[in-house]
Structure 1
């Protein structure tokens, strides 16, 4: 492992002999991959992850965003189909000869039986991969495609062997196994896209890693902490309050609003940013007063794909504290279930029983705005957090939404009008 301080390569013997420090500059290592179990992190790898998520230290991010980002990097190595096929072919021969030879003295057709058991075990392993919450969508899809490939191999090779041995039982067995593998692979290929996932690294582990990293390498300036809750409003120059904004982004959480504000999105795009919870508290009331002065205000809703998130638009329209009886143009940028179901990139979908209950308790107006497929997805307890996207991606999505809203009449616009009674309400069909 290379030292991030001087670039010297230190092997395990070097690190052990020097009590976890670089043999050249004596800088301590934050990670020791040989003692980390299945998830292995090195100092250069963690340094690159920090640089990549912050775009070379230019963007602020939260610990939760870092957890998602790290998880995605680790999952990319989870299943390699080319390596698996090579190992499958190697052990196909080795297992058959080794175990078949051991059992040949007391088991008729031992080589054939052992090979068939090996094929069945391979199918079982790959099928479990297609459902695994520890793999990403790409790995699950690769497992499904490999299932199809293995099924074809079993059928072709198996039929040839069964005809050579003139054995009808072997013929039937290999056809059944091959067809089963092909069927399961084909079926799972259409299901793996939005299956729930679990983090490979517990959040508590990352917190410990971040603490140790900063002790050894200095404070991570771009790392955001929980939004500060302040009760007392800040004093604002009266000359400033005389103006207003043309656009407002309302987030369903203070954390997302904090990310956007920390990265100066409001300055660079001339818009106000608030959370539905009242963040930032110090200027919330003043900002709302300024916004209500503008009859041409354009509002963008930005939220998690969760029962609370999909209710944000309805809350803005029915709450006296927001825009009840206001003729405004409101655009729902997402996340919405339809955007997740239509996405080809695959998102980090999670599942929790409380979310299923909350989904079923949504107001009738909200449930009627969703399709049957979207309701089924939410009612199953599925959800996706905006924090699963990098700061760069969140900024890109918002800029794209604002840009698309400049010409709502354009046929190229991704915005769809869903209600024109009182308010012009639009939704964005794709996320980013």
Structure 2
């Protein structure tokens, strides 16, 4: 493992003999991958994750965003479909012949054939299990699903030939057809739904917090890591000259964490908009900012939220709360994240599920449920949810910028918006999340 301080490559023997320090510069290593079990992390890997999440230390990020990125990096593998099929063919040839020889006395002349059928069943089961595993990401679930399709074609081609011409057995013909078609069906089915399957983290958030704390203690690096947002009850005095102006756009986030992230990265300055959290973040300027916003008759409001029952209710809350825009004709645009966007794109978002989320979905107000399709309601009632923090800061900023740019022409043919709810309510939703 290379030392991130001086670049010296230290093998396990060097690290052990030097009490976990670099042999050249004596800089301590944070991670020892050989003692971490199934989760292997190195210091260069962690440093690369930090550099990527912050876009080379130019963007602020939250601890959870780094948590998501690191989990995805650990799940990443280099195996290919060709590799899977090669192993499958190799096992079929050698295992069938090798074990077939040992079982010849027990199973007779059909021993190799029977062993081959068992091997194929085992591979189909293994690839199918992997294709729906919550411990791997969508790319590799899709690879296993495609491998199932290819295996099915191989079974049909070779199996039908041998059953009819070599063994002349109609029973064997039926078996290989069923096996082959089943493998193709399972692979096709998993490909169509792999983007909507849930995922799990490979390590706990408390583990990650321990790693991050140790990293900061040892490397004393100036990370653009955001702390938890704090409620500030003290009102900030704003220059009266400033309050005479307003904003044309407002972004409302369902969490203070995302609002803080956007503000820290100067999104409000660069895009001439106000940014607030639905619970009043930042409290010190919330009332003043709302007074400024209400002066603008052409104000457009953008809702940015998790794909969760609480997040889905953000637009409804903006429309019905006196604190926000009740009885107002302000235009509200739902940037996302919505189940509609996830179902439509199937790009491998990190979908989680929980019983609490499923219960909250069943308790959604009727007005909110009316704006959702049957498929979206089913998605939420299964307890599925996606957090905005599963996206990098750069991705969130890009999505927002595209959403704002795409709303410049609400009624245009090229608009990425759809009208939701009753006509005339000035509520729109972005069709795709970036």
TM-score by length of 1: 0.96
Shift of 1:106: 2.2
SS in 1 for 2:174: helix
Aligned to 2:359: 357
Shift of 1:170: 2.9
Which residue of 318, 321, 328 corresponds with 1:319?
Answer: 321
1:78–1:139 CA contact under 8 A, matched in 2? no
Shift of 1:422: 5.9
Aligned to 1:115: 116
| Corresponding pairs, count | 432
The structure-2 alpha-carbon separation of the partners of 1:131 and 1:228, relative to structure 1 and needing over 3 Å to count, comes to: same
CA displacement, residues 311-337 of structure 1 (integer Å, 9 cap, x when unaligned): 111111111110011121111111111
1:78–1:135 CA contact under 8 A, matched in 2? no
Matches within 5 A, 1:23-42: 23-42=23-42
Aligned to 1:292: 294
Aligned to 1:97: 97
1:61–1:223 CA contact under 8 A, matched in 2? yes
2:41–2:74 CA contact under 8 A, matched in 1? no
Cα distance in 2 for partners of 1:302, 1:279 equals: 14
CA displacement, residues 380-414 of structure 1 (integer Å, 9 cap, x when unaligned): 11111111111001100111111112222332110
CA displacement, residues 167-203 of structure 1 (integer Å, 9 cap, x when unaligned): 3433332222112111211222212121111112211
Which residue of 197, 200, 203 corresponds with 2:199?
Answer: 197
Shift of 1:259: 0.7
Mean alpha-carbon deviation: is it higher for 414-423 or for 88-97? 414-423
Cα distance in 2 for partners of 1:419, 1:152 equals: 47
The structure-2 alpha-carbon separation of the partners of 1:420 and 1:185, relative to structure 1 and needing over 3 Å to count, comes to: closer
Cα distance in 1 for partners of 2:358, 2:181 equals: 36
2:370–2:421 CA contact under 8 A, matched in 1? no
Aligned to 1:216: 218
Cα distance in 1 for partners of 2:359, 2:78 equals: 33
Cα distance in 1 for partners of 2:304, 2:361 equals: 18
The structure-2 alpha-carbon separation of the partners of 1:268 and 1:301, relative to structure 1 and needing over 3 Å to count, comes to: same
Shift of 1:118: 0.8
The structure-2 alpha-carbon separation of the partners of 1:127 and 1:414, relative to structure 1 and needing over 3 Å to count, comes to: same
Aligned to 1:160: 161
SS in 2 for 1:190: helix
CA displacement, residues 73-93 of structure 1 (integer Å, 9 cap, x when unaligned): 223317532222222222222
Aligned to 1:85: 85
Aligned to 2:131: 130
Unaligned runs of 5+ in 2: none
Aligned to 1:140: 141
Cα distance in 1 for partners of 2:99, 2:429 equals: 60
CA displacement, residues 207-241 of structure 1 (integer Å, 9 cap, x when unaligned): 11111111111144211121012222222222222
Which residue of 375, 380, 385 corresponds with 2:387?
Answer: 385
Which residue of 408, 412, 429 corresponds with 1:406?
Answer: 408
* 1:186 matched to 2:188: yes
Aligned to 2:373: 371
SS in 1 for 2:107: coil
Cα distance in 1 for partners of 2:96, 2:36 equals: 35
2:253–2:304 CA contact under 8 A, matched in 1? yes
Cα distance in 2 for partners of 1:83, 1:202 equals: 31
CA displacement, residues 98-141 of structure 1 (integer Å, 9 cap, x when unaligned): 32233223232222211111110000011111211112122111
Aligned to 2:209: 207
Cα distance in 2 for partners of 1:82, 1:106 equals: 35
Cα distance in 2 for partners of 1:362, 1:350 equals: 19
